[in-house]
């Protein structure tokens, strides 16, 4: 398998996953904003912060209101992490690997991109937003299923898994870091709507239902963090994504270095004592380190298998 | 209101579907009868279905516009063009004959040049050809075949005669659209495929793979075949990836390949370097190997010519094949067929004037208004003058160009290209078209069943190139009804 193709498949999967994450997150926040009384100051800007693109936002917008933030997250092409930018990049990567992915997958990515392009306005407007985002999530999921069900589970598919799970791990750490820590910093005593806010964090990762089934206690901060970080069976947790990365790395040639980095990152995740980290205020520093490790994992993968020229 | 064939008038041109207003040709009868049963609403719905299928299947071509690449949906007309099988078999034989002679010519011209010594073709003709490659002298590729893939453009004149308009021996494109057009038509008119015997076209990728495998330097069942593309910005990128996918071959760019000290070609894979046996290149000679041709080429692979000449890799089409693509050489193809095969050409050339002789040149310049003038080495319909549609200024410009470089121009009569009913804004109207069949030559020679029909969508226009507003049609080779 060509190194260049491996790289494009990897990015295709990352971009699709990114688009899906942005859609889920926006949808969850939208639901939350409708539940909250007007008196509670709900900052859409926080959502932008989760994606790590707040500085780009500030360059283009004066007001961080609902419409501007959502437009930035979904549609703006100068935001490389926007839903539309991600889908466009995903499509471009599939277009250049069409010889390798199943034809239906290309058609699906193509249709997904066209759908997003033609319905962006509806997605930005409050009224059409829910339907638009649900459709995006549904189509991303169906693409994932299609690849799993119709593409040989060989090296090409391993790179798809790598991209998807690395992006997922990255997003989950951001959710915890930005979304959750903001809530935790509010102090110890329970406050109104706290349950709702944590529910929203879970929903951003589509984890609410699974959490209820597996964690029998009332929704509380440390449990949610622990769930999103360490619950291996939950497919959108950091620990799960990293174990998937390891699984994909396992079958690839000359995998020693990336495998070592992945293993180390997963060990750090599973060994972390969440209660202690929260109590000592060290959770943010921990998440920061974890994000760096995920970054290192990407570099290790790129250096191992992707074309050298494109690393420069 | 349904289609009224009595109201369709090809205005004196040869029509591919009907013999005269209201009277369909035998092979097209089922189609025209069927179309007559559809009402406007039906036709419109099917046209929309086709357009949607093309967008969703991502059938596209790339055009350059204001410095940007735009991926455009492939222009397609849903009304098929029909050719009776018996007629097609004669054309097929003619195409095989032609490519056989062309390959003998290329092999001769890079080696002994007997055809020049025997004064059948004057030396100046190829000595000045842009596509004659000194780097290929004294070499003969496996099977003696240089042009493995040929796309010859056929046109039909007013009296129904089919002519070869030109031979494309460098990197002919369009075959993927031929295959996709059929896919779309099957979606749009499934009923017709049940009731008529239309020859299938989808064998092409398998035949292409077999042909490529046959020139592998390592006799194996599954040689490593790679399609070499200039990349995503090339207008035919869609086709490159399409063919790679259908053949199960690797789609590579120049940077993916490297020629090592053993003169073998390798591709950079996640397992390290892996040897490549055959390259189906979709890059022009000039850019193929910066060591041998243009040093500034970023698309090619340094050392590729060395690997090829040392027999370590098969390349299709072989470098240097373009010499026979030249429109001046074209005029000598009937002579080649006679010389190498001792046969009469089965498909005639379009009568062509060269501009090198004083008398001929002045004749051409005096009659520019009636003629089509083409540069000898361009493709894609660029740089040509269509006399009857030209302005005085354009004709003066071409007179100057021809006088400056007579070797570089040829002139042909403006043919009354045949037409076929095409779905336009106000229903069916006749539009001019041509046909590009694809011929594969390796151990055996295969011809596609039909080919890519290109149609000039603008009324009266003779320019069928997709880069210049041309569309396409599915092409059916059909058994005539008894």
The enclosing domain of B402 has a CATH number of: 3.30.1490.270
Q: Report the 10 Å Cβ neighbour count for B248.
A: 13
Dihedral angle, C-alpha B271, B274, B280, B286, nearest 10 °: 100
- Mean pLDDT in residue range B48-63: 82
DSSP run (H or E) holding A208: helix A208-214
Q: What are phi and psi of B29, to 5 degrees?
A: -60, -45
| pTM listed for this prediction | 0.83
The pLDDT > 70 percentage for chain B reads 96
Residue B297 has a pLDDT of: 81
Contact between chains at A114 and B55 (C-beta distance less than 8 A): yes
Residue B42 lies in a domain: no
pLDDT digits (tens, 9 = 90+) for A132-167: 999 999 999 999 999 999 999 999 999 999 999 999
Contact between chains at A107 and B56 (C-beta distance less than 8 A): yes
pLDDT over threshold 90, residue A194: no
Contact between chains at A3 and B55 (C-beta distance less than 8 A): no
Asked if B361 contacts B403 with a C-beta cutoff of 8 angstroms, the reply is yes
Asked if A238 contacts A228 with a C-beta cutoff of 8 angstroms, the reply is yes
Residue B7 lies in a domain: no
Asked if B404 contacts B396 with a C-beta cutoff of 8 angstroms, the reply is no
Please state, rounded to an integer, the average pLDDT across all residues of chain A. Answer: 89
B273 vs B150: CA distance, rounded Å: 32
pLDDT over threshold 80, residue A37: no
Asked if A239 contacts A230 with a C-beta cutoff of 8 angstroms, the reply is yes
pLDDT digits (tens, 9 = 90+) for A87-120: 999 998 998 888 888 889 999 999 999 999 999 9
Which of A98, A115, A159, A252 would you mutate first to test chain B, the one with the most B CBs within 10 A?
Answer: A98
Query: Which residues in chain A are contacts of B268 at CB distance < 8 A?
Result: 2-4, 307
Residue A58's pLDDT band, with cuts at 50, 70 and 90, is very high
For the ranges A181-195, B314-328, B337-351, which has the lowest average pLDDT?
A181-195
pLDDT over threshold 70, residue A289: yes
Contact between chains at B244 and A6 (C-beta distance less than 8 A): no
Any idea how long chain A is? 312
Contact between chains at B268 and A107 (C-beta distance less than 8 A): no
Nearest Cα neighbor of A22 from A42, A43, A52 is A52
pLDDT over threshold 60, residue B65: no
DSSP-based three-state secondary structure for A77? coil
Residue B435 has a pLDDT of: 97
Instruction: Choose the closest CB to B271 out of A95, A114, A253.
Output: A253
A255 vs A305: CA distance, rounded Å: 9
For the ranges A73-77, B27-31, B294-298, B391-395, which has the lowest average pLDDT?
B294-298
Of residues A218 and A135, more confidence is placed in: A135
pLDDT over threshold 90, residue B103: yes
- Mean pLDDT in residue range A40-57: 85
Domain boundaries, chain A: 1-151, 153-312
B455 vs A55: CA distance, rounded Å: 52
Burial bucket for residue B474 (CB in 10 Å: 0-12, 13-18, 19+): buried
Search chain B and give the residue with CA nearest A92: B232
Residue A312's pLDDT band, with cuts at 50, 70 and 90, is very low
B423 vs B188: CA distance, rounded Å: 14
End-to-end CA distance of chain B: 31
Contact between chains at A2 and B255 (C-beta distance less than 8 A): no
Residue A33's pLDDT band, with cuts at 50, 70 and 90, is confident
Residue B154 lies in a domain: no
Query: Which residues in chain A are contacts of B269 at CB distance < 8 A?
Result: 1-3
Residue A307 has a pLDDT of: 87
For the ranges A7-21, A176-190, A220-234, which has the lowest average pLDDT?
A176-190
Nearest Cα neighbor of A235 from A263, A200, A209 is A209
DSSP-based three-state secondary structure for A102? coil
Instruction: Choose the closest CB to A98 out of B55, B245, B272.
Output: B245
Asked if A6 contacts A159 with a C-beta cutoff of 8 angstroms, the reply is yes
Instruction: Choose the closest CB to B270 out of A100, A252, A309.
Output: A252
Asked if B448 contacts B176 with a C-beta cutoff of 8 angstroms, the reply is no
Residue B23 has a pLDDT of: 92
Residue span of the structural domain in which B374 resides: 353-413
pLDDT over threshold 80, residue B472: yes
Query: Which residues in chain A are contacts of B55 at CB distance < 8 A?
Result: 110, 114
Instruction: Choose the closest CB to B250 out of A2, A92, A107.
Output: A2
Max mean pLDDT range (A270-279, A280-289, B102-111, B123-132): B102-111
B433 vs A126: CA distance, rounded Å: 51
CA angle, A175 as apex, A261 and A283 as ends, to 5°?
A: 70
Search chain A and give the residue with CA nearest B249: A99
Query: Which residues in chain A are contacts of B255 at CB distance < 8 A?
Result: 4, 307, 309
Domain count, chain B: 1
Residue B132 lies in a domain: no
- Mean pLDDT in residue range B390-415: 91
Residue A310 has a pLDDT of: 42
pLDDT over threshold 60, residue A311: no
Please state, rounded to an integer, the average pLDDT across all residues of chain B. Answer: 90
Nearest Cα neighbor of B207 from B436, B449, B435, B434 is B449
SS3 of chain B: the string is: CECCHHHCCCCCCCECCEEECCEECHHHHHHHHHHHHCEHHHHHHHHHHHHHHHHHCCCEEEEEECCEEEEEECCCEEEEEEEEHHHHHHHHHHHHHHHHHHHHHHHHHCCCCHHHHCCCCCHHHHHCCCCCCHHHCCCCCHHHCCCCEEEEEEEECCCCCEEEEEEECCCCCCHHHHHHHHHHHHHHCHHHHHHCCECCCCCHHHHHHHHHHCCCCCCCCCCCEEEECCCCCCCCHHHHHHHHHHHCCEEECHHHEEECCCCCEEEEECCEEEEECEEEECCCHHHHCCCCCCCCCCCCCCCHHHHHHCCCCEEECCCCHHHHHCHHHHCCHHHHHHHHHCCCCCCCECCCEECCCHHHHHHHHHCCCCEEEEECCCCCCCCCEEHHHCCHHHHHHHHHHHHHCHHHEEEEECCCCCEEEEEECCEEEEEEEEEECEEEECCCEEECCCCEEEEECCCCCCCCCHHHCEEEEEEEEECCCC
B146 vs B289: CA distance, rounded Å: 17
- Mean pLDDT in residue range B376-383: 73
pLDDT over threshold 70, residue A48: yes
Contact between chains at B270 and A305 (C-beta distance less than 8 A): yes
Pairing assessment for the beta strands B385-386 and B371-375 based on DSSP bridges: antiparallel
End-to-end CA distance of chain A: 22
Asked if B291 contacts B103 with a C-beta cutoff of 8 angstroms, the reply is no
DSSP run (H or E) holding A36: none
Asked if B172 contacts B150 with a C-beta cutoff of 8 angstroms, the reply is yes
Asked if A30 contacts A129 with a C-beta cutoff of 8 angstroms, the reply is yes
Residue A60's pLDDT band, with cuts at 50, 70 and 90, is very high
Contact between chains at A309 and B58 (C-beta distance less than 8 A): no
Residue A229 has a pLDDT of: 95
Residue B3 has a pLDDT of: 77
């Amino acid at each position: 398998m060509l190194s260049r193709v491996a790289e494009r498949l990897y990015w295709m999967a990352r971009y699709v996953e990114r688009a899906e994450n942005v859609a889920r997150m926006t949808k969850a926040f939208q639901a939350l904003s409708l539940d909250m009384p007007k008196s509670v100051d709900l900052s859409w800007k926080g959502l932008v912060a989760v994606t790590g693109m707040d500085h780009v936002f500030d360059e283009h917008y004066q007001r961080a209101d609902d419409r501007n933030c959502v437009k930035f997250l979904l549609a703006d092409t100068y935001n490389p992490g926007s839903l539309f930018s991600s889908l466009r990049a995903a499509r471009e990567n599939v277009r250049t690997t069409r010889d390798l992915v199943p034809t239906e997958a290309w058609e699906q990515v193509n249709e997904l991109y066209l759908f997003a392009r033609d319905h962006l306005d509806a997605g930005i407007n409050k009224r059409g937003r829910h339907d638009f985002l649900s459709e995006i999530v549904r189509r991303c999921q169906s693409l994932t299923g299609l690849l799993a069900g119709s593409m040989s589970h060989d090296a090409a598919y391993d790179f798809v898994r790598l991209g998807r799970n690395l992006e997922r791990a990255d997003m989950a750490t951001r959710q915890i870091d930005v979304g959750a820590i903001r809530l935790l910093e509010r102090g110890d005593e329970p406050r109104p709507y706290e349950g709702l806010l944590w529910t929203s964090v879970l929903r951003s990762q589509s984890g609410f239902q699974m959490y209820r089934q597996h964690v029998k206690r009332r929704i509380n901060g440390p449990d949610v963090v622990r769930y999103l970080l360490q619950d291996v069976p939950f497919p959108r947790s950091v620990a799960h994504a990293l174990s998937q990365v390891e699984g994909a790395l396992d079958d690839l040639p000359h995998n020693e270095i990336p495998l070592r980095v992945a293993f180390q990152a997963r060990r750090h995740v599973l060994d972390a004592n969440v209660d202690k980290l929260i109590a000592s205020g060290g959770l943010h520093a921990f998440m920061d380190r974890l994000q760096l490790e995920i970054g290192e994992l990407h570099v290790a993968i790129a250096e191992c298998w992707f074309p050298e020229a494109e690393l420069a | 209101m349904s289609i009224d064939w009595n109201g369709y008038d090809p205005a004196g041109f040869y029509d591919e579907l009907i013999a005269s207003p209201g009277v369909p040709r035998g092979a097209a009868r089922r189609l025209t009868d069927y179309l007559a049963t559809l009402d406007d609403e039906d036709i419109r719905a099917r046209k929309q279905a086709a357009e949607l299928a093309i967008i969703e299947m991502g059938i596209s071509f790339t055009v350059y516009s204001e410095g940007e690449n735009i991926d455009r949906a492939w222009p397609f007309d849903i009304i098929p063009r029909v050719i009776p099988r018996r007629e097609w078999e004669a054309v097929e034989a003619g195409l095989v004959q032609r490519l056989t002679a062309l390959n003998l010519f290329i092999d001769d011209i890079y080696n002994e040049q007997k055809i020049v010594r025997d004064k059948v073709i004057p030396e100046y003709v190829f000595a000045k050809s842009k596509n004659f490659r000194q780097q290929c002298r004294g070499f003969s590729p496996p099977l003696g075949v240089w042009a493995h893939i040929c796309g010859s453009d056929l046109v039909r004149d007013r009296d129904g005669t089919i002519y070869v308009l030109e031979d494309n021996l460098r990197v002919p494109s369009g075959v993927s659209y031929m295959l996709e057009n059929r896919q779309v038509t099957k979606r749009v008119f499934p009923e017709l495929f049940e009731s008529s015997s239309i020859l299938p076209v989808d064998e092409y990728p398998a035949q292409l793979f077999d042909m490529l495998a046959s020139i592998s330097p390592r006799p194996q069942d599954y040689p490593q075949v790679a399609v070499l593309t200039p990349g995503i910005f090339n207008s035919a990128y869609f086709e490159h990836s399409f063919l790679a996918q259908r053949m199960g071959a690797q789609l590579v760019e120049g940077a993916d390949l490297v020629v090592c000290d053993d003169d073998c070609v390798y591709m950079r894979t996640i397992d390290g370097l892996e040897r490549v046996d055959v390259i189906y290149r979709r890059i022009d000679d000039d850019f193929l190997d910066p060591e041998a041709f243009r040093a500034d080429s970023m698309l090619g692979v340094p050392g590729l010519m060395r690997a090829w000449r040392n027999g370590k890799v098969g390349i299709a089409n072989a470098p240097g094949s373009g010499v026979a693509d030249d429109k001046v050489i074209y005029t000598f193809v009937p002579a080649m067929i006679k010389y190498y095969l001792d046969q009469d050409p089965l498909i005639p050339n379009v009568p062509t004037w060269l501009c090198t002789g004083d008398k001929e040149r002045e004749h051409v310049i005096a009659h520019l208004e009636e003629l089509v003038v083409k540069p000898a080495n361009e493709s894609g319909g660029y740089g040509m003058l269509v006399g009857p549609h030209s302005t005085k200024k354009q004709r003066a410009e071409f007179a100057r160009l021809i006088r400056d470089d007579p070797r570089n121009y040829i002139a042909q009569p403006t043919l009354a290209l045949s037409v076929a009913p095409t779905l336009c804004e106000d229903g069916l109207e006749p539009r001019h078209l041509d046909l590009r069949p694809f011929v594969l030559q390796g151990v055996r020679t295969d011809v596609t069943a039909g080919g890519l029909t290109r149609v000039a969508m603008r009324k009266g226009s003779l320019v069928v190139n997709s880069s210049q507003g041309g569309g396409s049609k599915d092409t059916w080779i059909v058994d005539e009804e008894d």
